[in-house]
Amino acid sequence: MNIKSKLINNELTIGSWITIAHPAIAEIMAKAGFDWLTVDLEHSVITIREAEELIRVINLHNIPSLVRLTENDASQIKQVMDAGANGIVVPMVNYKADAEKAVAAVYYPPKGKRGVGLARAQGYGATFNNYRDWLDNEAVIIVQIEHIEAVNNLEEILAVEGIDGYIIGPYDLSASMGMPGKLEHPDVIEAIEKIKTIGTAMNKPGGLHVVEPNTEQLRQSIEKGFKFLAYSLDIRMLDVSCRHGLVRVSGDI
């Protein structure tokens, strides 16, 4: 369950994204064999209360739980970490100061500035000392690189102590370059390659979100050397499976 060591060793991990709040979704996906699962608060209607339930289900299946935040907000970071998340995925980290802010919100003093409270993560107070040690050694912080400013400042961002890896947001990146959705544009491809080159040089694992459940695209991403890969998400897997089944049946009639 220790995703931190896999990131440090630059090992390949494949996870997925949860946007539907029902615990059964988390249970099904946790049993599927992913290395980690991310509860998405940025592009879903999942509440903090529902997020805690999803985190609990994921962790009970011995799978690391990450939470993609709505924004780089210290209060929300404190809530999801207290709920028992193994780490966070921070959107729109464009500057060194953004990365430093996220790290400070995850860790207790003197490493950070997070307020100390007793909740699920600390065993409701019974295992605070164990949690404090776990936090220092195993908490995970992934930054999303999804703006051209982040690309320009990437070395400073990844050099911040406490940043464990990165994930590229290609759609927002292309939009920040004035060409939203044009992922095959040479400038967008060049920017993504620059991210990967810098990440590799700094020994920081990173990857992409392969949004469609396309195993060939996933394989190609692995061959390109990405180590932290998100394979699709609940709603796309459900939608594609339904449509594929109906197309196959229609073709047989």
Q: Which of 22, 43, 61, 209 is catalytic?
A: 43
Quick one: DSSP state of residue 230?
E
With both helix axes pointing from N to C terminus, report the angle between 23-30 and 48-60 in degrees, rounded to the nearest 10. Answer: 30
Instruction: Write the burial class of residue 151 (CB in 10 Å: 0-12 exposed, 13-18 middle, 19+ buried).
Output: buried
Quick one: DSSP state of residue 108?
P
Say whether 61 is catalytic: no
What's the Cα-to-Cα distance from 217 to each of 97, 100, 168, 209, 210, rounded to whole Å?
Answer: 34, 33, 15, 10, 7
Six-digit token string for 77: 């970071």
> Catalytic residue positions?
43
